[in-house]
Structure 1
């Protein structure tokens, strides 16, 4: 397939691009800088210059015309600014009609998120669980519903759990603090559970959804239902011999003041179920022991 990826150099999109190229798909990626274009080229993708943000000259109107003949779009871009909702709305306003006008019926894989399900506690959220979104991302719900209902495309939604690599994704802050601070900070409580998925496993899920998922379907991308964040913090502190092995607890308000309202998600105690993707798409996550991966970090 000819696949266009938004966010193809980000924490999710880069792994998706590499996976699609490895599977033999022809991949195009949006590049807002020469560095991004070079990175996409290293992955084996073709860069299209542009940005998801407005105004012109690099806004969607400037590059949407280059998508003729595209079989699918994977949207894995996210701007953590206060303009997230407006940027997304304007992007969909331009992109969805353009895709619907194509002679073929392209697939559109939209990225939701585990934080849309809110704190679940001991319950395990599935695709049937009502949304209870973190306020900073509540705008995503009507947008993903719009994608699923849009005429002229086959909309599909993936809700990633908290995406990690041993030193990247949601682990990046913990990794950095274990090396640079005297203690790793944990938001709210060591007992807060994070549902997790390794970036490579998530990329495999996107590829399987591209190739096999029915139109209108949604999937939770969780390989690990919920791991207490204290286990993660202690694994990093042990690996890097941090001065204080016990995590330092900070408040949700403190992390929000430091990083933005979206960071309140670090305090959500969640469990998510990825069984539907395994059952329907044959998804088989391989990274199921992050603590061992942390222990072997160089």
Structure 2
């Protein structure tokens, strides 16, 4: 398939680009700088000049494509408005394509709120973090549009060899007085390695029926305290205890979206395993942390 990836140089998107190229698909991706274009060419993808914040220009000149994977988000205060403008421009452009394209939209684990021990599945009603409430109508729009075959992936907390969601943890464990975590060591995060998540996007692209949603969680819930202490051991500080921040403190530092770090969650990836044959391979999180680059 000819696939356009939005966010193709990001943590999720670059892994998706690599996975799809390995599977023989032809990849295109937006590039808003020459550095981004060069990175995409190194991955064997074709860069298209453009920015998700100004979609009208590049959606008017889309090549023939069979699918779009939307994995772009900048976490700014206007991210909801940017995303609405993007869909306003790209959905009519896709309607003009020769065949009905597939469109994979990226949701997120923080749309399910704090789940506690009960956990969440794709059937669980959304209770979104306020900073991401704008995403719920966007998901409905994608899944109900007749112009596309809409599919939604809800990634868990994504990490990779270079860090991903753990990047700050690695830096603080190496250089600081302890990894900073929010509210409690007992808070659990659902986790997924970027390579496993990319495999899920590929399977959804190739097999998922229109109108379906999947949670990308390879580990349902893992204590953030255990993560912090594993990083302390990784950098030779086995007795270093985590620093506890309040949700208000992390929101003041990073933005309201960062309150998600305080959500105690368990999310199930069973549907993706059963329906798509998803088989994550990165399952020993503490061993993976030991290999994270500093």
TM over 0.5: yes
Q: Distance in 2 between matches of 1:68 and 1:38?
A: 20
- What do the CA deviations read for 1:139-162 (whole angstroms, capped 9, x no partner)? 000001101111211000000000
Deviates more, 1:234-243 or 1:76-85: 234-243
Q: Distance in 2 between matches of 1:232 and 1:201?
A: 19
Q: TM-score if structure 2 supplies the norm length?
A: 0.98
CA shift for structure 1 position 68: 3.5
Instruction: Give the match for residue 151 of structure 2.
Output: 156
Alignment of 1:246-265 (within 5 A): 246-265=241-260
- 8 Å Cα contact 1:183-1:245 kept in structure 2: yes
Q: Measured at CA, do residues 71 and 48 of structure 1 come closer, stay the same or move farther in structure 2, by a change above 3 Å?
A: same
CA shift for structure 1 position 64: 1.1
- 8 Å Cα contact 1:181-1:242 kept in structure 2: no
- 8 Å Cα contact 2:229-2:238 kept in structure 1: no
Instruction: Give the match for residue 39 of structure 2.
Output: 39
Instruction: Give the match for residue 21 of structure 1.
Output: 21
- What do the CA deviations read for 1:30-74 (whole angstroms, capped 9, x no partner)? 001111101111111000001010xxxxx2121113323200000
Match of 2:92 among 78, 94, 97: 97
Give yes or no for the alignment of 1:294 onto 2:294: no
Unaligned 5+ segments in structure 2 are: none
Secondary structure of the equivalent of 2:141?
A: helix
Secondary structure of the equivalent of 1:13?
A: helix
Secondary structure of the equivalent of 2:117?
A: coil
Q: Distance in 1 between matches of 2:161 and 2:247?
A: 24
Give yes or no for the alignment of 1:195 onto 2:177: no
Instruction: Give the match for residue 272 of structure 2.
Output: 277
Alignment of 1:132-147 (within 5 A): 132-147=127-142
Instruction: Give the match for residue 111 of structure 2.
Output: 116
Match of 1:87 among 73, 82, 85: 82
Q: Distance in 1 between matches of 2:195 and 2:13?
A: 10
Q: Measured at CA, do residues 103 and 94 of structure 1 come closer, stay the same or move farther in structure 2, by a change above 3 Å?
A: same
Q: Measured at CA, do residues 35 and 109 of structure 1 come closer, stay the same or move farther in structure 2, by a change above 3 Å?
A: same
- RMSD over equivalenced CA pairs, Å: 1.1
Instruction: Give the match for residue 7 of structure 2.
Output: 7
CA shift for structure 1 position 294: 1.6
Q: Distance in 1 between matches of 2:47 and 2:175?
A: 36
Alignment of 1:185-224 (within 5 A): 185-224=180-219
How many residues matched?
293
Instruction: Give the match for residue 240 of structure 1.
Output: 235
- What do the CA deviations read for 1:242-281 (whole angstroms, capped 9, x no partner)? 4851111111111111111111000000000000000000
